Amino acid sequence: MTNKLYLISAFALAFTFCLHSEDILRKYHDTKRKEPEIEVVFTSIEEIEKEGKSHPLHNMDYGSRSFAVFFLHGFPVNTPFTFKVFRPALQPSDSNECFFRDRFVFKENGKLFTAEGNQLDGGISIGSLGFLLGEKINVVFETNDRKIKKEFSYTPDPIEARTSDGRILVKGELLHAFPATYIIAASGLEDDEEYDFQSQSAHELREGKAKKNSIHYLMPTVIGLKKGTCFVKMTFKNNQEVKLTLPWGNELEEYLMGKKVL
């Protein structure tokens, strides 16, 4: 059996389907490179829809807004390796529990095979469905003899927003899911430039001034409430604004279960 792409998401753990995107199929696993390395190709649902009905995902609602496709270069043939995904934001700080794992091997023809013997012509892909806004995940490819280990960290659904003039970029990260803890920072400010920072979660309102290189730690959970949304507004020079919407509590569980997409 041959599949074009191997896909997992946080909601539907593992399944395969044919993805005929030309940009992705032009890529390939190169076992002849001297040093092992990982190549990552990012694609979005908007890019998939541009291809129209010719794309197998066009009429399939997997729910993911974006995909990361991994290609492995320089991995030895006939040496099994494990693909692992870690989600630190969902784990205690002293835990290193693996959220998902699967095994693969390259054969003499340079083709990639699953542990079940299915040949994959495309990459190993992760869809964004079921991951949380701003949640960073760690992806690990490690040979079973542990002689080769390659890691890659990224955010399937990042917190990013720009002012309308494009000058200021605001980024955030979900450090912990329960209780929700976010970190927010802005880049592109001038030296000593001040801006207004406001966050509101239920009836709790926080306001203040901040400067370049300021880092904002938010714990928006409100005592007595099981879920909610924190609304953040950052106002910069010339009344340029950035607004963020950050879920917390049981609201996050809706996204974990794939019932909501940010």
Looking at the structure, tell me whether residues 197 and 126 fall in a common domain: no
Q: Are the beta carbons of 86 and 98 closer than 8 angstroms?
A: yes
Q: What pLDDT does residue 27 have?
A: 54
Place of tokens 């509590």: 249
* Among the listed residues 72, 250, 258, the one whose alpha carbon sits nearest the alpha carbon of residue 156: 258
Pull the structure tokens for residue 23. Answer: 């940009």
**77 and 175, same domain (yes or no):** no
Say if 200 falls within a structural domain.
yes
State whether 174 and 220 are in the same domain.
Answer: yes
Residues paired with 15 in a beta bridge:
7
Is residue 166 in some structural domain?
Answer: yes
- C-alpha to C-alpha distance for 122 and 141, rounded to whole angstroms: 16
CA distance 62 to 85: 19
Residues in the chain: 262
261: in domain: no
In this structure, are 46 and 121 located in the same domain? yes
User: Domain boundary residue among 123, 139, 154?
Assistant: 154
In a domain, 46, yes or no: yes
Last residue within a domain, chosen from 154, 169, 196:
154
pLDDT tens digits for 189-217? 999 899 999 999 999 999 999 999 999 99
CATH number where 177 lies: 2.60.40
Could you give the number of structural domains in the chain?
2
Q: What is the pTM of this model?
A: 0.83
Does 95 reside within a domain? yes
- One domain, residues 177 and 130: no
Residue at a domain's end among 154, 188, 219: 154
Q: Which domain holds residue 247?
A: 159-256
Residue 177 Ramachandran class (φ > 0 left, ψ -120 to 50 alpha, else beta): alpha
CB atoms within 10 A of CB 151: 12
Residues 67 and 31 in one domain: yes
Task: Per residue of the chain (262 residues), give pLDDT as tens.
Answer: 444 455 555 544 433 333 333 444 445 677 778 789 998 888 777 876 776 655 544 544 457 778 888 888 889 999 999 999 999 998 876 677 888 888 999 988 788 888 888 887 667 888 888 889 999 999 999 999 999 999 999 999 899 999 999 999 999 999 999 899 999 999 999 998 999 999 999 999 999 999 999 999 999 999 999 999 999 999 999 999 999 999 999 988 877 776 555 4
